[in-house]
């Protein structure tokens, strides 16, 4: 297997114009304000962060649902332009959070699975059906489910169907936008294990969006922590979980429940609210809530270095 | 893979077929069932009218003008509901007239719904400026009293049943446009539409295959309800002399023709009026039941 990234993003940004009201100038909301990453076949890149930090917008840009305002996205070394979306779509597919909204209630499972093939052509009807049935088996559903409607399935099964549909076009990259957060805990692990098994078998590159650190710890190879549209820390999973550098990551990790009753738990409580994404502080975005804040943090924006494990902070924790 | 999870499906009981489930909820509403039966009789009359009717609808029995109904003095079993001023049998005319009303209802609903759904889909998917233009035009049409607008349109096109149907269809269309657009806008937000887009579906496919089937329930109900509106409007236009022209036995036209005899022969106006009333009421009741049966929010699990 190769380590060449299948997808690479440089300074990816997405801005929205928010009208301030009648006769007022629209303001710009930077949902994603510059994120760099790359995903490699067979590896999982996890993006974590709290609500509103731009994770889902990032996922939608990667899945070519929304056009990046700035920055470039390359797929297999070729830059992605909206004009080529139609051709490149097959390589990037997405699984959504809510399994109840992501399947068309009026279509049978077979039709849902075969639809991507019908749209993109190239196969005869029997071939499509064979492929759809194989995929059904691959995600752990039974052949008789082929002719049923989505409302006959539980959430976990629906998510399996959504995954199967995403895989029908043999994508290189699978964007998973909180794929398990709507599911029961017991079903979560089954779906995660299914995803890991599929990744190994099909050498898929995953972009895994989540707010759940225990899930991320289970599936990720690389992790990016986002705060207010920017990556504040990135690194290999083990390094990041063992020695988080950015104070925000430290706080985030301290909030994860632990299954060890004897373990010492130091819960860091963040003060203050998440600043409005319309008025991000000039310096470090985290400065107003940081317990180590100094004058420099409020004036200058710290940058994320190029090191494998780097944090956008002037005074990182766990250095050395 | 893990059989334990696949076994979940066994717990979910097989739901009854869509049609049976629909009937189950429809049956709850007694008025709707009565409406359905009346509608069925109405449809039967519309199809087989000329064969059921005892006399020809246009044959004039000159000797028997203004014969009262059978239960009144002077009535005869030959003309059960009496005759009109020209000696035509009322019952036959009413039975044959059902055909015209039914025809008006079907044509108007089909034309208005097809046009309305198409325009509504376009408005729902179009960029904001086009959407605004379409919806403002629809608002303008809605701002006119509907019968007045239909009257103006018929006056321009010339009075005939066909033109009346066209006019009524145009007047009813904005309701479909609004309904379709509203459903499209809410369905469009859902993830299954996005995932169809990610799979590469074009606008045409998104509109007609992905989104439209999920928007149909309210449109079907609106169709049933505007069926009665169309009949009523056609009758009103006929009454004003702008719809079907004599000697067509259309109910509204019959009313208009008999207006001057209203005091002398009550049956010439009462029976066509009753026919309109009963039909419209039956269809409205049926439409109500349809709405309840198709609305997922009112369903018990």
**Domain limits, chain B:** 31-43+81-295
- The CA-based angle B277-B283-B288, given to 5 degrees, is 125
Asked if B199's CB is within 8 angstroms of A165's CB, the reply is yes
Please name the member of A94, A98, A105 whose beta carbon is closest to the beta carbon of B198: A94
- Chain B residues with beta carbon closer than 8 angstroms to that of A169: 199
pLDDT score, position B34:
93
Distance from CA of B228 to the nearest CA of A (A): 29
Distance from CA of B110 to the nearest CA of A (A): 23
Asked if B213's CB is within 8 angstroms of A116's CB, the reply is no
Nearest CA in chain B to A99: B191
Asked if B194's CB is within 8 angstroms of A96's CB, the reply is yes
Distance from CA of A249 to the nearest CA of B (A): 31
Asked if B198's CB is within 8 angstroms of A89's CB, the reply is yes
- The ipTM (two decimal places) reads 0.82
Interface of B with A in 179-198 (CB under 8 A): 190-192, 194-198
- Chain B residues with beta carbon closer than 8 angstroms to that of A148: 9
DSSP per-residue string spanning B20-47: HHHHHHHHH-HHHHHHHHHHHHHHHHHH
Instruction: Write out the H or E segment, with its range, that includes residue A38.
Output: strand A27-39
B217 reaches A (C-beta below 8 A): no
Distance from CA of B226 to the nearest CA of A (A): 26
- Chain A residues with beta carbon closer than 8 angstroms to that of B214: 104-106
SS3 assignment, position B179: helix
Please name the member of B14, B190, B201 whose beta carbon is closest to the beta carbon of A119: B201
pLDDT score, position B1:
45
Asked if A156's CB is within 8 angstroms of B9's CB, the reply is no
pLDDT score, position B12:
46
Asked if A190's CB is within 8 angstroms of B2's CB, the reply is yes
CA gap A273, A123 in Å, rounded? 53
Please name the member of B6, B14, B196 whose beta carbon is closest to the beta carbon of A142: B6
B6 reaches A (C-beta below 8 A): yes
CATH 1.10.287.3510 fits B31-43+81-295, yes or no: no
B201 reaches A (C-beta below 8 A): yes
Tokens of A283: 């310096």
Q: Tell me: the pLDDT tens digits for B44-97?
A: 988 888 888 888 888 888 888 788 888 888 878 888 888 888 888 889 999 988
**Which candidate in B15, B188, B199 is best for mutational testing of the A interface (most A CBs within 10 A)?**
B199
- How would you classify the pairing of strands A205-210 and A173-177? parallel
User: Mind listing the domains of chain A with CATH numbers?
Assistant: 7-248 (3.40.50.300)
Low-confidence ranges of chain A (pLDDT < 70): 1-3, 20, 259, 263-265, 319-320
Tell me the average confidence (pLDDT) per consecutive run of 10 residues in chain B, 301 residues long.
Answer: 45 60 84 92 88 84 82 82 85 89 89 94 92 94 90 90 91 93 91 88 88 86 86 86 83 84 86 90 87 67 45
C-beta atoms surrounding B235 within 10 Å: 30
SS3 assignment, position B67: coil
What backbone phi and psi angles, to 5 degrees, belong to A9? -120, 135
CA gap A80, A176 in Å, rounded? 20
Contact A75, A4 (CB under 8 A): no
Nearest CA in chain A to B189: A101
Asked if A140's CB is within 8 angstroms of B191's CB, the reply is no
pLDDT score, position A212:
86
pLDDT score, position B159:
87
Count residue pairs from A and B with Cβ separation < 8 A. Answer: 88
pLDDT score, position B298:
59
CA gap A78, A7 in Å, rounded? 9
Distance from CA of B113 to the nearest CA of A (A): 21
What DSSP character marks residue B89?
Answer: B
Q: How many CA atoms lie within 13 A of B151 on its CB side?
A: 12
Query: For all residues of chain A together, what is the average pLDDT?
Result: 85
pLDDT score, position B113:
93
- Chain A residues with beta carbon closer than 8 angstroms to that of B210: 104
pLDDT score, position A290:
85
pLDDT score, position A1:
46
How much is the pTM? Answer: 0.80
CA gap B40, A267 in Å, rounded? 72
């Amino acid at each position: 297997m190769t380590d060449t990234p299948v997808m690479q993003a440089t300074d990816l940004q997405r801005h929205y114009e928010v009208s301030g009201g009648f006769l007022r100038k629209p303001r710009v909301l930077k949902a994603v304000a510059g994120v760099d990453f790359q995903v490699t076949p067979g590896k999982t890149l996890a993006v974590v962060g709290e609500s509103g930090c731009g994770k889902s917008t990032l996922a939608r840009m990667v899945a070519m649902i929304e056009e990046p305002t700035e920055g470039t996205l390359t797929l297999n070394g070729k830059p992605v332009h909206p004009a080529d979306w139609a051709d490149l779509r097959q390589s990037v597919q997405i699984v959504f959070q809510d399994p109840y909204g992501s399947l068309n209630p009026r279509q049978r499972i077979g039709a849902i699975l075969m639809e991507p093939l019908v749209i993109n052509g190239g196969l005869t009807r029997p071939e499509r059906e064979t492929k759809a049935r194989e995929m059904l088996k691959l995600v752990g559903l039974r052949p008789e489910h082929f002719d049923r409607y989505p409302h006959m399935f539980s959430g976990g099964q629906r998510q399996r169907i959504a995954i199967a549909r995403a895989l029908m076009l043999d994508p290189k990259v699978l964007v998973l936008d909180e794929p398990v957060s709507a599911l029961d805990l017991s079903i979560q692990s089954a779906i995660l294990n299914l995803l890991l098994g599929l990744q190994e078998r099909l050498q898929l590159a995953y972009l895994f969006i989540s707010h759940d650190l225990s899930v991320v710890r289970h599936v990720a190879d690389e992790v990016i922590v986002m705060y207010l549209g920017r990556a504040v820390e990135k690194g290999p999973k083990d390094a990041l979980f063992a020695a988080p550098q950015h104070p925000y990551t430290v706080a985030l990790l301290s909030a994860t429940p632990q299954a060890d009753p004897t373990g010492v738990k130091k819960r860091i409580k963040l003060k203050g609210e998440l600043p409005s994404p319309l008025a991000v502080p000039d310096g470090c975005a985290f400065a107003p809530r940081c317990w180590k804040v100094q004058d420099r943090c409020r004036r200058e924006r710290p940058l994320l270095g190029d090191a494998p494990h780097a944090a956008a902070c002037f005074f990182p924790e766990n250095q050395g | 893979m893990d059989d334990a999870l696949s076994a979940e499906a066994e717990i979910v009981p097989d739901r009854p077929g869509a049609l049976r489930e629909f009937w189950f909820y429809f049956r709850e509403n007694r008025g709707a069932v009565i409406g359905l039966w009346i509608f069925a009789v109405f449809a039967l009359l519309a199809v087989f009218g000329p064969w059921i009717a005892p006399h020809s609808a246009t044959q004039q029995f000159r000797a028997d003008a203004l014969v009262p109904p059978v239960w009144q003095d002077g009535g005869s079993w030959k003309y059960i509901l009496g005759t009109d001023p020209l000696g035509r049998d009322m019952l036959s005319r009413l039975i044959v007239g059902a055909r015209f009303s039914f025809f008006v209802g079907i044509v108007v609903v089909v034309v208005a719904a097809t046009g309305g759904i198409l325009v509504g889909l376009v408005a729902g998917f179009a960029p904001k400026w086009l959407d605004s233009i379409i919806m403002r035009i629809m608002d303008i049409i809605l701002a006119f009293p509907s019968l007045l607008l239909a009257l103006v349109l018929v006056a321009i096109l010339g009075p005939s049943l066909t033109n009346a149907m066209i006019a009524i269809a145009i007047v009813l269309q904005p309701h479909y446009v609004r309904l379709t657009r509203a459903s499209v806008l809410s369905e469009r937000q859902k993830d299954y539409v996005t995932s169809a887009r990610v799979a590469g579906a074009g606008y045409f496919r998104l509109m007609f295959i992905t989104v439209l089937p999920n928007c149909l329930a309210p449109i079907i109900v609106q169709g049933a309800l505007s069926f009665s509106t169309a009949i009523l409007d056609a009758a009103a236009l006929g009454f004003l002399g702008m719809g079907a022209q004599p000697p067509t036995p259309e109910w509204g036209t019959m009313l208009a023709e008999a207006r001057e005899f209203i005091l002398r022969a009550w049956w010439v106006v009462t029976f066509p009026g009753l026919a309109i009333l009963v039909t419209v009421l039956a269809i409205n009741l049926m439409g109500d039941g349809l709405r309840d049966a198709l609305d997922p929010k009112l369903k018990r699990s």
